[in-house]
Amino acid sequence: MTINIPMTAAGAVLTMLTLSVAQAEDGYEAPDDWPSPMVEHNMAMALFDRLEYAVPNKGDEALVWDFEAWYGGDVNRVYLKSEGDNVQGDGEDAEFESLELLYSRLVADFWELQGGIGYQGGVFSDDHAERTYGVVGLQGVMPYGIETDLALQVSDEGDVSASVEGEYDLRLTQRLYLQPRTEIAVAASEVEAFGVGEGLNSVRVGMRLGYQVTRRFAPYVGGYWEKQYGDTADLARASGDATEDTGVVAGVRLMF
Amino acid sequence: MASSSVITHPLSRRQILKGGAALGLGSAAALGLRPSWANPWGRTNAYAKGVEEGPEVALAIRRESLPVAGQQTHPISINGSSPGPLIRLKEGQDAVLRVTNLLDEPTSIHWHGLILPPGMDGVPGLSFAGIAPGETFTYRFPVRQNGTYWYHSHSGLQEQLGHAGPLIIDAAEREPFRYDREHVLLLTDWTFEDPMSVFRNLKTAEGYYNFQERTIADFFADVREKGFAATAEMRGMWAKMRMSSRDIADVTGSTYTYLLNGHSPEENWTALFKAGERVRLRVINGSAMSYFDVRIPGLNMTVVAADGQPVQPVPVDEFRIAVAETYDVLVMPEDNTAYTLFAESMDRSGYARATLAPREGMAAEIPERRQIADRGMEAMGAHGMAGMDHSDMESMDHANMQGMDHSDMESMDHANMQSMDHSSLGGMSDERNGMKASGMLAAGAAQPGSRYDQAGIGIDPDARRTLVYRDLKAFTPWTDRREPGRELELHLTGNMERYMWSFDGKKFSEVTGPLHFDKDERLRLILVNDTMMEHPIHLHGMWMELENGQGELIPRKHTLNVKPGERVSALITADAEGSWAFHCHLLYHMDAGMFRVVKVS
């Protein structure tokens, strides 16, 4: 794993961010030692959109996370995103399905263009196959309030894949919400080590019912259905896994 | 608390003693609990001979442990109370205000609404360097006006911590109305959260404080009332724009305790009167973020001044007070009964309350609270105008006609249709008549797209007489009657999702240089609100004469409320050389970038 690349990139991005937080040019003849009348603040935020225990019908139980954090101003930000799971009882380490460091720029009122690098593989060990990749994405809110994350990945081997995630909050009461979500993955080429086939890989649809104890803490329960297609399904079958599964989840949405 | 400030700040002692006298001895605890100026008996006569409070005042700014709403907390105090003491000056004095910073961060005091030299305006970075910890800054300025004003910190988010207070200037000559007693009513919004975390919540989680969002139940209720098609169409439009029609206040009663003279509704601060007296209420909205609708059930109010400036009397039952505005009203309670002073927040998430009574310990009924209103077309139109195509506009009109014909929304829609027609369809014939050869409207004429005859969201004009901007007429014409030499149009803009607020799409950090006014020019400032929120726009150093169609009786203000989608204009005489702040007075909007510098030279 080439951890030094992300670190260098992070350093570069942070430098850019610092430079971009400039104050308005004076022009009103204030002495140099006076402060600016208004100071902008950089912000930081971290969110476990999902931190849940999944109990599938056929597969193994797993602890699953979907995390993102950012630091920066209104327009330029650095994101750290990760999704992954720790399959219970397989004797193996937790696995990053993705661990990404991204530079993000607000390109429209509701949309951020993001680009950076990612890693897929074991969290602490080499239990899992590893690869690094470059990623370009678009994150934002579609009309009708659908939270969307589109990403295109190119691996260090030149393999191209893409994913789209959509999520919507339907407010039942001021604190109780129903959240349908979907994830679709496609790939341009087969990568056997990661169980990725050419074409449509998988579709996952879920529904969660959450309760916002506070705006930052919402426990939820839910269920999902997932199915693998084409070559991806063949690869799953070959390794003895189910190609279609349903499951239930219980977890929390946590925001810091 | 109060006693310590008496010892260390002898100049403030007179004020404290004066305020405390009516409470009697042994009420030290009470002194600590209420600002010393919040004397229940008020002043029996504002023309009391020998006004002694000014011209020299010393103020010490501290962070200390004090109770707010019965809970120990850590506000910023001024001479030991939070909100701070009443400062009383007299027109014609040379004020000397010594402000000592006992905080561990820089601070400042801005004298809101006062016309004074630029170096005395109290905006760090514009007027002066700010007041460093441990330092004393002496403000010196001639007092050239009278009326009801206030003061507050202009440093960071300090205002949210109670760094504010009333500033009353007694007139040198007789005022155009008489009264027997006066009370100052300072409205503020207090949160036990750190103001910086409030700001962070707004920045990182849209709708964080809104617990009155529409739910599925509201949808079905609307379907029952208006039918599925109209409801779906209306909700679809809002959803398509990714906005909430319930977005009325960014910060709400879910974190705020609304205070009147520093007291929560439960504490029920009491203002005393004797039956038959004419009482002047000097109402100041010193909130960081909250608009209020003020009324006193059972009493008629007569508005006699706006933003410190006398206006022709307007009888009302209720008035909306934007953040940073002040209104003076007269009431005449005839009976020995208690009346509730009721200030409901615009989004109906809470209220401030006090009692007007002939003796302490009385209470009147608290009126029934209104439900939050949904914003209508004006907000949607304002925000979406740029990106909206014709089909959207059609469906909007359609939905407007069919879907929203109920209760308090109705009047809004009507007005809405009018204003939309004005701005978009060119129904300007009547205004055109008043147009000058220069292509500009005559001085004082209302801009097309203004809604001066409406109080705003959540007000049912049929329920009671509510003050609107159209009602405001100067008591006497102001001296500068020149036509404007030019127009300066600024759009109020924002990105709700990111909580970015700006003028003309640029935050303060993104603009280069100030707005420029030529010294002594007469210009028209046009403010166009492209957002779906109200913005109270405040210009330092100069008056803004609100062009509400009242001809030579054009009223002047220091803070103008601009409603969603509205186009408001003001005439300005740029007679104050120097650099001045110009900003939205919603604290977190200002901090998010809705701030400009005006340079007069």
In a domain, A75, yes or no: yes
Average pLDDT score, chain A: 89
Verify whether the Cβ–Cβ distance A27 to B512 is below 8 Å.
Answer: yes
Query: By C-alpha distance, which of B345, B267, B257 is closest to B75?
Result: B257
> Which residue from B minimizes the CA distance to A143?
B240
CATH number, domain B6-174: 2.60.40.420
CA-closest candidate to residue A251, choices A55, A88, A113, A98: A55
Report chain A residues whose CB lies below 8 A from the CB of B128: 34
- Which of B216, B497, B511 has the CB atom closest to A24's CB atom? B511
Question: What average pLDDT does this structure show over B38-44?
Answer: 57
Measured CA angle at A189 (ends A188, A193), to 5 deg:
135
Domain span at residue A146 reads 43-255
Mutate to test the interface with B, among A17, A20, A25, A28 (most CBs of B within 10 A): A28
Q: Which carries the bigger pLDDT value, residue B450 or residue A14?
A: B450
Q: In 10 A of CB B346, how many CB atoms? A: 23
DSSP A193: G
Chain-chain contact of B510 with A24 (C-beta, under 8 angstroms): yes
Q: Which residue has tokens 């046009």?
A: B526
pLDDT (average), residues A200-228: 97
Q: Which of A21, A36, A38 would best serve as a mutation to test chain B binding (most B beta carbons within 10 A)?
A: A38
Nearest to B256 by CA among B352, B330, B135: B352
In this structure, of B7-11, B63-67, B223-227, the range with the lowest mean pLDDT score is B7-11
* Range 5-64 of B in CB contact (< 8 A) with A: none
Residue B64 has pLDDT above 50, yes or no: yes
Q: How much of chain B, in percent, has pLDDT values that exceed 90?
A: 74
Mean pLDDT confidence for B526-550: 97
The predicted-structure confidence for B249-258, as pLDDT tens digits, reads as follows 999 999 999 9
Select from A33, A41, A143 the Cβ nearest to the Cβ of B242: A143
Identify all chain B residues contacting A171, using CB atoms and an 8 Å cutoff: 213-216
Give Cα separations from A94 to A6, A122, A247 (angstroms).
20, 6, 20
Q: Residues 132-161, chain B: which have Cβ within 8 Å of A?
A: 154, 156
Contacts of B48 (CB under 8 A, 6+ apart): none
Output the pLDDT for position A5: 52
Contacting residues of B for A30, CB less than 8 Å apart: 125-126, 579
Which range among A26-30, A45-49, B241-245, B297-301 shows the weakest confidence by mean pLDDT? A26-30
**Residues of chain B neighbouring A141 (CB-CB closer than 8 A):** 242, 497
In a domain, A2, yes or no: no
CB atoms closer than 10 angstroms to residue B13: 16
A9 falls in which pLDDT band (50, 70, 90)? low
Query: What does the CA dihedral B74, B131, B54, B173 come to, rounded to 10 degrees?
Result: -110
Per the model's pLDDT, the better-predicted residue between B5 and B35 turns out to be B35
Measure CA B117 to chain center: 23
Q: Chain B window 577-596: which residues touch A at a Cβ cutoff of 8 Å? A: 579, 581, 590-591, 593, 595
CATH label, B397-456+468-600, candidates 2.60.40.420, 2.30.40.10, 3.40.50.720, 1.10.3980.10: 2.60.40.420
Distance (Å) from the alpha carbon of A32 to chain B's nearest alpha carbon: 9
Q: Is the pLDDT of residue A163 over 80?
A: yes
**Which residue is associated with the tokens 């308005």?**
A24
Q: Does B510 touch chain A (CB under 8 A)?
A: yes
Smallest CA–CA distance, residue B380 to chain A, in Å, is: 14
Residues on chain B touching A22 (C-beta within 8 angstroms): 509
CB neighbour list of residue B297: distance below 8 Å, 6 or more residues apart: B339, B340, B342, B364, B365, B367
Contact residues on chain B for A28, CB-CB shorter than 8 A = 126, 513-514, 579, 597, 599
Residue B57: band (very low, low, confident or very high) from pLDDT cuts 50, 70, 90: very high
* Residues of chain A in Cβ contact (below 8 Å) with chain B: 21-31, 33-41, 43, 45, 74, 106, 109-110, 141, 143-145, 170-175, 215-216, 255
Residue B307 and residue B558 in contact, taking contact as beta carbons nearer than 8 Å: yes
CB contact under 8 A, B581 and A37: yes
CA angle B577, B583, B584 (to 5 degrees): 155
Range in A28-37, B136-145, B258-267 with the lowest mean pLDDT: A28-37
Residue B224, SS3 per DSSP: helix
pLDDT digits (tens, 9 = 90+) for A65-95: 999 999 999 999 999 999 999 999 888 889 9
Cα dist from B588 to B251, B253, B389, whole Å:
9, 16, 32
Task: Spell out a b/e string for B388-405, using b for 16 or more CB atoms within 10 Å of the CB, else e.
Answer: beeebeeebeebbeebbe
Q: Where are the alpha helices (DSSP H) in A43-128?
A: none
Which residues, other chains included, contact B6 with Cβ-Cβ below 8 Å and sequence gap of 6+? B12, B13, B16, B17, B80
At residue A144's C-alpha, the angle toward residues A143 and A146, to 5°, is 85
Q: Do A29 and B579 touch (CB under 8 A)?
A: yes
B50-68 average pLDDT score: 82
Q: How many domains does chain A have?
A: 1
Domain with CATH 2.60.40.420 in chain B: 6-174, 397-456+468-600
- What is the separation of C-alpha B509 from the centre of its chain, rounded to a whole number of angstroms? 25
Q: How far is A108 from chain B (nearest CA, A)?
A: 10
* β B556-557/B500-503 pair status: unpaired
Q: Cis (ω within 30 of 0) for the bond into B83? A: yes
Please state, in angstroms and rounded to a whole number, the distance separating the CA atoms of residues B440 and B483. Answer: 10
Mean pLDDT, chain B, rounded, equals 85
Token pair 């007789």 in the structure block, residue: B174
- Write out the H or E segment, with its range, that includes residue B71: strand B71-73
Structure tokens at A77: 């930000």
User: Does residue A5 fall inside a structural domain?
Assistant: no
Query: Taking 50 as the threshold, does the pLDDT of residue B8 lie above it?
Result: no
CATH code at position A234: 2.40.160.40
CA angle centred on A180, ends A175 and A183, rounded to 5°: 135
Measure the CA dihedral B439/B529/B539/B89, to 10°.
120
How do residues B444-468 score in pLDDT, each as one tens digit? 899 999 999 999 999 998 999 999 9
Per-residue model confidence (pLDDT) at position B3: 37
Give the DSSP H or E segment for B225.
helix B216-226
Catalogue the E-assigned strands of B91-217.
Answer: 94-101, 110-112, 136-142, 147-152, 164-170, 181-191
The interface pTM score, or ipTM, of the predicted complex is 0.88
Amino acid at residue number B76:
I
Neighbours of A161 (CB within 10 A): 21
If you write DSSP's letter for every residue of B426-486 in order, what string do you get? ---HHHHHTB-TTSSBPTTPPPTT--TT---TT--TTTS-B--GGG--BSS--S--PPPSE
In a domain, A33, yes or no: no
3-class SS string, B508-571: HHHCECCEEECCCCEEEEEEEECCCCCEEEEECCCCEEECCCCHHHCCEECEEEECCCCEEEEE
Q: Compare CB distances from A172 to B212, B215, B498 and report the shortest one's residue.
A: B215
Among the listed residues B256, B345, B253, B257, the one whose alpha carbon sits nearest the alpha carbon of residue B294:
B345
Task: List % helix, strand, coil for chain B (3-state, nearest 5).
Answer: 20, 30, 45
Residue burial B485-517, b: 16+ Cβ < 10 Å; e: rest: eeebeeebbbbbebbbbbbeeebbbbbeebbeb
Candidates B341, B373, B407, B484; CA nearest to B40 is B341
- Say if strands B279-285 and B292-295 run parallel, antiparallel, or are unpaired: unpaired
Contact flag B211-A27 (C-beta cutoff 8 Å): no
pLDDT at B135 over 90: yes
Asked if B559 and B322 count as a contact pair (C-beta separation under 8 A), the reply is: yes
